Structures are given as C-alpha cells and as structure tokens.
C-alpha cells in the first residue's frame, strides 16, 4: 500500500483491514484517505446475484469495510453498534465506497458511506461505531 497522509498507526489499521480474509476474498482495496474519511473500491465481477447485478450483500460488505476502517482510523477501537443501508440503484463494474464521519462523542461515532459506480449513486449506508 502506498503511504497516506495519516499517522503510522492509521496506516497499520488500513493494512490490517485490507489484509483481512474478507477484504482479500472480495478484492476490496483502499483508494484514498483524508482527515475525515476514506474510500474503498471493489469490482463486482464474481459478486453478482441472479439478476446479473452486484449482490446486495456484496454492496453492504464494501460499505461496511469503508465504515470499519474510517471508524478506527483515529486510534480509538470501535465496533459496529448498528448499520443500515438504502439501495438506490443496481450496479455492475467497479464500486467505490466513500465513508465520512458525521458526528461523535466519547461513546460512539456516526459515519455515512456513499457507494457509487461510474459516478452513479448505488447505495447509502449509515453506521454507528461504539468505542470498545
């Protein structure tokens, strides 16, 4: 992975998420990092449902990966307390999930993840991470 403009600890978190079995299996990779968020990409090839478009579970997993990385980048370990997704349109090809922090306190943090394909919105995911 190339160096990001973040702390060495954040780079370790990114590496750990990218090397997780699920991320490797699905081909998810970090494509950008900034102060308030992260982007993660995945090709839908081999991840389609019977309708020939990306399976909703694959879209959710990509959004959850982006949420998980973003929620742990500040050095406070978090796990998902809740997550929900709205599917906007079917997708094929390369998907990109952009996770950004909305708000937080000393117990939890809220993130929104927008998933798109070729500039078209595919899904909107909201995750709440709880500090552990």
Q: How many CB atoms lie within 10 A of CB 28?
A: 24
Reported as a pLDDT band with limits 50, 70 and 90, residue 1 is very low
Q: Give the model confidence (pLDDT) of 99-131 as tens digits.
A: 999 999 999 999 999 999 999 999 999 999 999
Helix, strand, coil shares of the chain, percent, nearest 5, are 25, 45, 30
Reported as a pLDDT band with limits 50, 70 and 90, residue 3 is very low
CB 70, CB 111: distance < 8 Å: yes
Q: Which helix (H) or strand (E) holds 108?
A: strand 108-117
Domains in the chain: boundaries: 8-131
Q: Give the model confidence (pLDDT) of 6-28 as tens digits.
A: 788 888 999 999 999 999 999 99
Question: Does the 8-131 domain belong in CATH 3.30.70.270?
Answer: no
Q: How far apart (Å, rounded) are the C-alpha atoms in residues 96 and 102?
A: 19
According to the model, what pLDDT value does residue 75 have?
Answer: 82
């Amino acid at each position: 992975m190339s160096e990001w403009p973040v702390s060495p600890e954040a780079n370790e978190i990114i590496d750990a998420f990218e090397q997780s079995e699920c991320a490797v299996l699905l081909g998810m990779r970090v494509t950008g990092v900034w102060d308030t968020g992260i982007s993660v990409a995945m090709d839908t090839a081999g991840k389609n449902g019977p309708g020939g478009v990306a399976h909703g579970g694959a879209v959710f997993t990509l959004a959850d990966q982006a949420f998980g990385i973003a929620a742990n980048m500040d050095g406070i370990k978090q796990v998902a307390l809740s997550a929900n997704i709205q599917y906007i349109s079917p997708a094929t090809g390369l998907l990109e999930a952009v996770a950004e922090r909305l708000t937080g306190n000393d117990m939890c943090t809220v993130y929104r993840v927008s998933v798109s394909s070729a500039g078209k919105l595919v899904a909107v995911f909201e995750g709440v991470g709880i500090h552990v």
